[in-house]
Amino acid sequence: MKVLLLSISPNQSGNRQRTDYLADALRLAGHEPYIVRWKSWRQFGAHNEEITNQLSIQLLPTAAKWLPNNKIPIWNQTLAWMKIKGIVRKLKIDAVICPNNWYVIGYPPHKFEVPIIIDYFDLLSDEMEQQFLVKDRTALCTSIELQIRASRWTKNAHWIPTPIDTSKFCIPKIEAKKLIGISPDTLLISLIGLTASRKLYFMDAIDQLDIPNVKCLLIGDGELADPIRQKIMESRHPDRFEMLGKVPYSEVPKYFCASDIGLYPGDEDDYYQCACPIKVLEYTAAGAEVVSNELRELKHWGFPNVRLVSPSSEGFQEAIRKAVTSQGNKGELEQFTLSTVSKNINCVLHSVLFNDAACRGAII
């Protein structure tokens, strides 16, 4: 079947999005995926090329994500869906997978030429969920918590996590530490991707640890980069912290493999509660212990290598101390592999296009 996937946002960094991983899963199941890439208004002068299975749609300027009352960009919604309809007709598309990125092209039309499947990857308000999931529309939910939310409006909500390639995380720990210039006897703690609470309580925890030979690598960029730099300058042990900035995607796995303990230091709000923390999967695949604040999604997973504690310096200190001596088993990753996600998304497509009762309803 021919499936058109709409990308989440204009991507000028070159990093793969969830859309790309879902396309991999569809391709493995024998389908023919096409991806629409959004080109931002800043790229108006850029060559609008089309390559095999990759199409571009230019977007007009919008600040919808930062406007009050969740106002949607009507001009982009109208123009984009007109172009999408043209692509569907030209390529004889069987189904469209549309992310819940209302701030890019608004809401999908209630009636369309082919079924629209919602990729629910980011938390919405109740009102916006109902707009996307109108008339029992099928939803692919990146987390179990989002599936639970979506199930209030549709009986066709499926848990389809973003798949990971576990084969990338098989470098032995000692070898990985040597590759990144870290002594094998160093306790390496890392935060890969600067997703964290703005309180930065995890840095206080590491600064106050009474464990020798500790190193914390902070990898990535974004709005937390400057506050983290300031926090390092104010710490008692600034030498424990090292900021590496943005690392090429192909180089990232060795940092996961070198880590003894990985961190996911979020907040208690619904954004964190409903997210699918891919870095926890990657740390687990690499054989690392993980310390996170208490999150409902991670409780669903039940990974033995993940310690859930209060989002505080004291909570993280104690969990890190225990993780140092832990020899526990890592979590079961089968549900997150490309092969399993491919089978499940194939089942969802059959339920949508052929009304296959065996695939209808929630997949867990």
Q: What is the pLDDT of residue 355?
A: 80
Token readout for 57 is 């749609």
SS3 call for 234: helix
Domain range for 54: 2-163+337-359
Residue 181 falls in which region: left (phi positive, over 0), alpha (psi -120 to 50) or beta: left
Does 94 lie in the same domain as 22?
Answer: yes
Q: What is the pLDDT of residue 53?
A: 61
Overall average pLDDT of the 2-22 stretch: 84
Does 352 lie in the same domain as 326?
Answer: no
Task: Identify which has the larger pLDDT, 240 or 355.
Answer: 240
The answer to whether residue 95 sits within a structural domain is yes
Say yes or no to pLDDT of 318 above 60: yes
The answer to whether residue 247 sits within a structural domain is yes
Overall average pLDDT of the 226-253 stretch: 96
The answer to whether residue 220 sits within a structural domain is yes
The answer to whether residue 28 sits within a structural domain is yes
Does 190 lie in the same domain as 113?
Answer: no
118 beta partners? 98, 139
Does 104 lie in the same domain as 43?
Answer: yes
SS3 call for 221: coil
The answer to whether residue 364 sits within a structural domain is no
Does 183 lie in the same domain as 111?
Answer: no
Residues ≥6 apart with Cβ < 8 Å to 129: 149, 150, 152, 153
> pLDDT tens, 332-342?
999 999 999 99
Overall average pLDDT of the 162-179 stretch: 96
Overall average pLDDT of the 317-343 stretch: 93
Say yes or no to pLDDT of 63 above 50: no
The model carries a pTM of 0.89
Does 209 lie in the same domain as 144?
Answer: no
The answer to whether residue 175 sits within a structural domain is yes
The answer to whether residue 283 sits within a structural domain is yes
Contact call for residues 297 and 143 (beta carbons, < 8 A) = yes
Task: Identify which has the larger pLDDT, 9 or 343.
Answer: 343
Does 324 lie in the same domain as 280?
Answer: yes
Contact call for residues 325 and 353 (beta carbons, < 8 A) = no
- What is the CATH classification number for the domain harbouring 204? 3.40.50.2000
Does 318 lie in the same domain as 280?
Answer: yes
The pLDDT > 90 percentage for the chain reads 77
Does 78 lie in the same domain as 179?
Answer: no
> pLDDT tens, 269-284?
999 999 999 999 999 9
Does 182 lie in the same domain as 144?
Answer: no
Q: How far apart are CA 265 and CA 238, in angstroms?
A: 19
Does 110 lie in the same domain as 178?
Answer: no
Q: Mutual orientation of helices 18-28 and 338-354 as an angle, nearest 10°?
A: 80
In sequence order, what E strands does 29-138 have? 32-39, 54-58, 95-99, 116-120
Q: How far apart are CA 298 and CA 263, in angstroms?
A: 13
Task: Identify which has the larger pLDDT, 45 or 100.
Answer: 100
Does 346 lie in the same domain as 318?
Answer: no
Q: Which of 99-103, 255-259, 298-302 has the lowest mean pLDDT?
A: 99-103
Q: Which amino acid is at 94?
A: D
User: What's the half-sphere exposure (Cβ side, CA atoms, 13 Å) at 322?
Assistant: 15
Q: What is the pLDDT of residue 39?
A: 73
Contact call for residues 283 and 298 (beta carbons, < 8 A) = no
Token readout for 360 is 């209808």
Overall average pLDDT of the 66-94 stretch: 77
Number of domains in the chain: 2
Q: How far apart are CA 309 and CA 292, in angstroms?
A: 6
